[in-house]
Amino acid sequence: MSNLTFATASQLARMIRDREVSAIEVLDAYLAKISKHNSKLNAICTLDEENARDRAKLADEALAKGENWGALHGVPITIKDIFETAGLRTTAGYIPLKDYVPQQDATAVARLRAAGAVIIGKTNMAELAADYQSTNSLFPRVNNPWHIDFTPGGSSGGSAAAVAAGLSPLDLGNDFGGSVRQPAHFCGIYSLKPTDRRISTAGQIPEVPGMPICIRQMMTAGCFARSIADIQLCFSLIAGADSRRPDVPPVPLDAPSGKSLQNLKIAWIDEWPEIPVASEIRDAMQSIARKLSDTGVRVDRWLPKNFDVSQILNLYARMAAYLNSYAQPKDKYNVRRSLELIFRSATQGDKELKKLGDFGSLLPEIFNPKLKGYFETLTERDRFVSYMDEALEPWDVWLTPVAATPAFTHRPSWNAVEIDGKSYPYGLANGGYTIPFNLSGHPAVIIPIGQTQNGLPIGLQIVGKRWCEMELFAIAADIDKVVGNLQHPPGY
């Protein structure tokens, strides 16, 4: 039972297709695991057992007749509660949506269904995807399967916790500032943030239903899994142009170069100068560079010239303020939450570090956005994208930390995080290493590379060139063979 629920989605698909196990048997194994463990993790917020069972039975009947629905035929998966699912409650952890049942699937969800997936249920998350922990007013907070006193991260904490604990082999998430990368790092699994606009976000909140489509940059759909192969499979199924989102370009998937690791140029950095990481993460990054170098790989420590983290974070924050300004209602609750975030970020943490993560200057954009200001900010972002394209051109990939810390204990949202005795502003500790690549639009894969002395996972961020995900997967898979360290949390 346990071995079955820790099989990869690709393995399960093959086993079901070869009639080694039925779709019903696989579903029952996951449902038993969920029944046993979800009450302490709160990873799955809406279980759809009846419909999942009906779908699994149909999958088995189809195979018996020689029919195959696709690459995920009969494989159970979960979906972050931010994606609309036809006939299945979708809340985004937001009280006004507590009874919202969409009539249509999000595009990415529809494509996974079309590939034969069986949706078990929806995974818990941060309210409207606006936190690096996964708490909201509708469901209990999500706990980290490695230690329930610690957060699994956010906003896709339920996704990462479910996959890490074997409650699901594959989960669909989204990433606007690190939401698929930081939780994968905190929970010790694999994840992908693709190139900006590579995957349609149609049917994805936080644009509350009825509001205009405002978040047209930096928001991506991604995925969580327990292997690079599963991430690549999921990506290949959901990527591509969509008539519901005309701004998703019809860019074909790239062809991997086929170069060996020894013929690659790999850049790496163990920390930004402005945002030191926890010593165990820095040691892990240095160990990665040594291991790769020992196998004959060219690995060079590198940081682009004029890579000013303060300017990058400020530009991202201004972009985010403009994009979110019209995406959500300006009710008293949302206004109060925004002010609390700004206050805590401005008042907590080391004095110098607070200057990097101070959102107080964004109040004009949040409460009185101007069209000219938005276009000026968008133009600055275009320059940064071009700058990063040029800087990354000589390199095949760039290896960086995912966050400044491993998972930390639960705390009120946006309270400071301690790193080796130093107090870091919350947003800086969690998003300082992921946000630059939301701003630039470059794809990134997260792989697990080890654990802290306390047994908390450590992940590695592998950044590739825009529109070159297939090359990124190939390189990440080779790196994973050398330094990857996937482990399952004890007791699951």
Convert the pLDDT of each residue in 403-445 to its tens digit.
999 999 999 999 999 989 889 999 999 999 999 999 999 999 9
pLDDT for the residue numbered 207: 84
First vs last C-alpha separation in the chain: 11
Contacts of 139 (CB under 8 A, 6+ apart): 42, 45, 93, 124
CATH class of 1-303+384-492: alpha beta
3-state secondary structure 317-379: HHHHHHHHHCCCCCCHHHHHHHHHHHHHHHHCCCHHHHHHCCCHHHHHHHHCCCHHHHHHHHH
Q: 487, 190 in Cβ contact below 8 A?
A: no
Active-site pick, 134, 156, 168, 179: 179
Convert the pLDDT of each residue in 177-217 to its tens digit.
999 999 999 999 999 999 999 999 999 998 888 888 889 99
Q: Inform me whether the pLDDT recorded for 1 exceeds 50.
A: no
Q: 164, 448 in Cβ contact below 8 A?
A: no
Query: Can you tell me the distance from the alpha carbon of 361 to that of 365, in angstroms, rounded to the nearest whole number?
Result: 9
Q: 108, 150 in Cβ contact below 8 A?
A: no
Q: Note the pTM of the prediction, 2 decimals.
A: 0.96
Cβ-count burial of 278 within 10 angstroms (0-12 exposed, 13-18 middle, 19+ buried)? buried
Domain coordinates in residue numbering, the chain: 1-303+384-492
φ/ψ of 297, rounded to 5, equals -85, 140
Contacts of 231 (CB under 8 A, 6+ apart): 190, 191, 192, 223, 225, 445, 473
Q: Inform me whether the pLDDT recorded for 329 exceeds 90.
A: no
Closest CA to 47 of 135, 139, 110, 114: 139
Task: Decide if 465 is catalytic.
Answer: no
Active-site pick, 80, 193, 354, 465: 80
Structure tokens of 209?
């239903």
Average pLDDT of span 367-395:
94
pLDDT for the residue numbered 350: 85
Task: Decide if 122 is catalytic.
Answer: no
pLDDT for the residue numbered 364: 73
∠ Cα 125 398 464 (to 5°): 65
39-to-6, 36, 150, 254 alpha-carbon distances in Å: 19, 7, 16, 42
pLDDT for the residue numbered 370: 87
Mean pLDDT estimate for the chain: 94
Active-site pick, 22, 155, 191, 440: 155
Task: Decide if 36 is catalytic.
Answer: no
Min mean pLDDT across 30-34, 58-62, 121-125, 359-363 is at 359-363
pLDDT for the residue numbered 335: 64
Give residue 1's Cα distance to chain centre. 28
Phi-psi region of 31 (alpha: psi -120 to 50; beta: other; left: phi over 0): alpha
Query: Can you tell me the distance from the alpha carbon of 78 to that of 402, in angstroms, rounded to the nearest whole number?
Result: 24
pLDDT for the residue numbered 32: 97
Convert the pLDDT of each residue in 59-87 to its tens digit.
999 999 999 999 999 999 999 999 999 99
